[in-house]
Amino acid sequence: MRASAHATVAGCDGGVWLCDVRSQPPLTLRRSGGRVLVVGSAAGPVGGDELDLRLEVAPGARVSIGTVAATIVWPGPDGRSSTTTLTIDVGDGAHVEWHPCPTVSVAGSDHHMSTIVHLGSGASCRVVDELALGRGGQAGGRLDAIVRIERNGAAVVHHRERFGPGTPGWGTTTAVGDARFVHQEFRVGEPAGETATVVEQRASAARLPIGDDATVILALGRDRPMVQALVARWR
């Protein structure tokens, strides 16, 4: 399946509005509770699917974007990989938060996901990826996750992680060891602060400033509540 969706997000009097919405299943866009939500109107991504979502945030708007539920990545009948590409163009002076529910990599799947953010002058963003490497008690599939954030055409962040069978070092501490949940967070346009790390039994997190106003937060652990508790210290 090939599907795409596009919308312009504007802010007015503290509210959020969707304009020029065009979408195809399984990508459906809705405004709810002051946020923009992506609704899965069909199962996906399934092996072989190519899904493309593009959002334009109007200058000066402050927008929070997420998903209604977790994204389950399914294997296809012929073993082909699936791809999801999200592109967000953020207008001058605007702020966007992209924090979807977790992406769950199912055994046998092979998924490539890219999040690309273009920031205009004075714009800022917070981008979060939560990745569940398999369902409860099951192994995960192959997952290739890329986050790229550009400001005025120049890259501020370009981060790539690969998970699952066939990944070099998979199952060892070179990768994520026995961790089953990963949190990746990227903040651009706010003071970076200092480097910090937290290590607890079966979970760890690190806050890494990569510029005066750019920060990467990486955390992993046995499950989502454990990882969220660590990351919440830096909210």
pLDDT in tens, 16-44: 888 888 888 888 899 888 899 998 767 77
Percent helix / strand / coil, the chain, rounded to 5: 5, 60, 35
Q: What is the pLDDT of residue 126?
A: 97
Q: Are 220 and 179 in contact (CB under 8 A)?
A: yes
Q: Are 159 and 128 in contact (CB under 8 A)?
A: no
Q: Are 149 and 126 in contact (CB under 8 A)?
A: no
Query: Does residue 12 register a pLDDT over 80?
Result: no
Please list the residues that pair with 111 across neighbouring strands: 82, 143
Q: What is the pLDDT of residue 71?
A: 94
pLDDT in tens, 129-184: 999 999 877 889 999 999 999 998 899 999 999 999 888 877 666 678 788 999 99
DSSP assignment string, 202-226: TEEEEEEEEETTEEEEEEEESSHHH
DSSP assignment string, 89-126: EE-TT-EEEE-PPPEEE-TT-EEEEEEEEEE-TT-EEE
pLDDT in tens, 185-196: 999 999 998 999
pLDDT in tens, 220-231: 999 999 999 999
Token pair for 171: 């199952």
Q: Shortest CA distance to 231 belongs to which of 200, 201, 209, 198?
A: 198
The pTM for the full model equals 0.93
Taking the domains of the chain in order of start, what are their residue ranges?
2-234
Alpha helices in the chain, H assignment, sequence order: 224-231
On the CB side of 209, CA atoms within 13 Å amount to: 12
Q: What is the pLDDT of residue 174?
A: 64
Q: What is the pLDDT of residue 14?
A: 67
As a whole number of angstroms, the distance between CA 212 and CA 208 comes to: 11
